[in-house]
A and B are shown apart, each in its own frame.
Chain A
Amino acid sequence: MTGAETVPGALLTGGAGWAFVIFAGLALGTAIAVVVAKNPIHSALFLLSSFLLVACIFLLQKAEFVGAVQILVYAGGIMVLFLFVIMLVHQRTVRETIAFQHQWDVSVLFLIAFLLPFLYVLWTERFPEVAANPDAFRSVNGRIAGNTEAVAWILYRDYLLPFEVASVFLLVAMIGAVVLGKRSVERVD
């Protein structure tokens, strides 16, 4: 972790490392802005920028497919959904003078108690050294292909059942959203 360039297990070096520092710092800053912003539209836009910055970190890690999916699904899908709902519920009714609920002090204590084990693991755990393989994200059957092809190969061959289960899950979520969101029909007989 010191300045040496030949640290075993280094994920990013040089300029990419500084780019990671910038992206991560901005992502954390926008995440804090999501939590403290009073206006939900501001929260949504800060959340969008946080997603885009995390996608940039994915691209730095040469995980291009996940980065693209992150931008398409989060920025293109989920954020549009959020903005639609913010538009549907009237802005005037949801504007709040006090953003935090009255039990926030208890919540923060609970948060600290919950996160201490995480910190403990973070400080004590030492991860084993693994020989780095820079082409691991791109190779398919020993030849060099794209990241998307490599992910597709492993997704459709080794994880086909979870993939199908995910599609069923999306169907269930869609039906559930329709049932929850529809207006109750008034009987006119």
Chain B
Amino acid sequence: MTITINHFLVVSFLLFSIGLLGVLVRRNFLTVLMSVELMLNAVNLNLIAFSSRLSDLTGQVFAVFVITIAAGEAAIGLALTISLFRQRRTLNVEEASSMQG
């Protein structure tokens, strides 16, 4: 089985779509955060694939940066989760809607 960059792009595309779908349709805030992590992971897959394709290490360096940002984002998001749960006793994003117009 010969794998080219297109296979990587298709896998990464599907992974990103699954993550985006999770962000859009789930009610549980924790699952929404997990879906965001899935999307970042898909981006990493693309970076590594192109890094390998172009024989250039820059993609790997940026993948490390993306992982850093993902860690910070997860920390902030989980702090928000705890804060939301403390005030509303729920994780349902549909009930945290007091700012809608």
If over half of A's interface residues share one DSSP class (helix, strand or loop), that class is named, otherwise mixed; here it is helix
Of chain B, the residue at the smallest CB distance from A1 is: B4
Q: CA A61 – CA B61 in complex, angstroms? A: 15
Chain A residues lying within 8 Å of B30, measured Cβ to Cβ, are 40, 43-44, 82, 85-86, 89, 94
Q: CA A54 – CA B48 in complex, angstroms? A: 11
Whether the pair B17, A111 counts as a contact (CB closer than 8 A) is yes
Chain B residues lying within 8 Å of A16, measured Cβ to Cβ, are 3
Whether the pair A181, B83 counts as a contact (CB closer than 8 A) is yes
Interface residues on B, range: 35 or more
In angstroms, how far is the closest chain B Cβ from the Cβ of A140? 10
Q: CA A115 – CA B86 in complex, angstroms? A: 36
Given A96-B92, A98-B27, verify A81-B74 contact (CB < 8 Å): yes
58-114 of chain A: CB within 8 A of chain B: 58, 61-63, 65-66, 69-70, 73-74, 77-78, 81-82, 84-86, 88-89, 93-94, 96, 98-102, 104, 107-108, 110-111, 114
Listed in ascending order, the chain B residues whose CB lies under 8 Å from chain A are 1-11, 13-22, 24-28, 30-31, 33-35, 37-38, 41, 44-45, 48-49, 51-58, 60-61, 63-65, 67-76, 78-83, 85-86, 89-94
Besides A35-B38, A40-B28, A61-B49, 14 other A-B contacts (C-beta < 8 A) = A11-B5, A13-B3, A21-B3, A31-B18, A51-B41, A54-B45, A89-B81, A94-B28, A99-B31, A107-B25, A127-B53, A132-B55, A136-B57, A158-B58
Listed in ascending order, the chain A residues whose CB lies under 8 Å from chain B are 1, 3-5, 7, 9-14, 16-18, 20-21, 24, 27-28, 31-32, 34-35, 37, 40, 43-44, 47, 50-51, 54, 57-58, 61-63, 65-66, 69-70, 73-74, 77-78, 81-82, 84-86, 88-89, 93-94, 96, 98-102, 104, 107-108, 110-111, 114-115, 118-119, 122, 127, 130-133, 136-137, 150-151, 154-155, 158-159, 162, 166, 169-170, 172-174, 176-178, 180-181, 183
